[in-house]
Amino acid sequence: MKKKRVVAKEIYTLADLKDWHDVDPPIRLGVFGDPVEHSLSPRMQNAALKHCKIDMQYARFQISPDELREAIDLIRKPEFVGVNLTIPHKIAALRLLDLADENVRRIGAVNVIKVESGKLHGFNTDGRGFARAIREVFSVDLRDLRVMILGAGGAARAIALQCAKENSERLVIANRSFEKAQKLADQLRDFFAGPKVLGPVARLQAIPLEEAAIRFQIGNVDLVVNTTPIGLNRGDPSPIPTRVLAPHLMVYDTIYSAARTPLVSAALEAGARGANGLSMLLHQGALAFEIWFQREAPIEVMRTALL
Ligand code: NAP
């Protein structure tokens, strides 16, 4: 009897996972999110798989929060290599892992799962992806920088931990809910206990996400990083207005929905350097590929696919 040919879908669901019909090449990787249709990960990961002649593909999975447990259980099937997790699953997936690496435990969020002998091993590549992105776009290492992070959520925690581990000169965390910024700073206090203080300012500080407080810090900061969603939607303002920014700054927006996000535009207008989050997306994806396949990711192929 002739075998029925199954056509690949743009987006898979929990129902598909439960009643799996493979396509050619077989789906062994994917991203779980809600919403997920805008994810650029399939584009770069599929380009990498093809380039490396790995006979499998990476797909989008629309999974709601109440479906996450079942969906994650279903990828234990030995054929699955792993998945990425995006909004809103990075924190909820933590309790569904069998093993979590040190980064995941400290950050409290997971963005990469690798399936190994039916066990789910969690990783977080956002911090290292960020460090590689900063090195690439501004030709500088985090250890040389005084950094201000806007936000204190999952991405901010990954970036703050990376700055701490790389011994950044200074770290300022600015958040709408000040207590969350304070809590994050407290968790990192040990890393910043050393004497590497420049001038009268504290090495580690939490501040409210308010213009006056940010203005006060700008002269003692080299790199500003936005991890809030301000700028994601059309018509959003910049999270920091041009009048507060200064020409000496490097400004990195983790948002990549436009080449010139509102913050990047404000930075350029102020005479500063600015970049959007596409490079971080690329590098965190390349690190995920390296975790899954234990081989170097074809970074230029992935970059071309993203652009
Ligand atoms: P999250 O955990 O929900 O944290 C969001 C943060 O933004 C919180 O600190 C929150 O403050 C703040 N915030 C939310 N709405 C705000 C508003 N209207 N005004 C001021 N502050 C606001 O989210 P996440 O996982 O960290 O992700 C945040 C962003 O990072 C997303 O836009 C995502 O695209 C980006 N990201 C990019 C990459 C990349 O590869 N380029 C990777 C990861 C994440 P409160 O604490 O006061 O609620």
- Name, in order, each residue with C-beta under 8 angstroms of 158's C-beta and a sequence gap of 6 or more: 103, 107, 109, 124, 126, 127, 130
Of 73, 86, 16, 76, whose CA–CA distance to 288 is shortest?
A: 86
Residue nearest (by alpha carbon) to ligand 1 atom 30: 227
| Residue 37: both structure tokens together | 């249709």
pLDDT value, residue 196:
65
90 belongs to the catalytic site: yes
pLDDT value, residue 246:
98
| DSSP 8-state assignment for residue 59 | E
pLDDT value, residue 194:
76
Ligand 1 mean position to 155 CA, how many Å?
7
* CA angle in degrees (0–180, nearest 5) for 181-184-188: 135
pLDDT value, residue 1:
43
Q: Is 286 in the pocket of ligand 1 (CB under 6 A)?
A: no
pLDDT value, residue 8:
84
Domains of the chain, CATH where assigned:
11-124 (3.40.50.10860), 127-279 (3.40.50.720)
Q: Of the residues 31, 176, 180, 263, which should be mutated to test ligand 1's pocket, given the most ligand atoms within 8 Å of the CB?
A: 176
- Position 230, amino acid: I
Q: Which residue, chain included where needed, has tokens 């999110």? A: 33
pLDDT value, residue 124:
97
Ligand 1 mean position to 50 CA, how many Å?
32
Supply φ then ψ for residue 244, to 5 degrees: -90, -20
pLDDT value, residue 20:
87
* Spans in the chain with pLDDT lower than 50: 1-3
Q: Of the residues 125, 228, 252, 253, which should be mutated to test ligand 1's pocket, given the most ligand atoms within 8 Å of the CB?
A: 228
126-138 and 278-293 helices cross at what angle (nearest 10)?
A: 130
- Position 16, amino acid: D
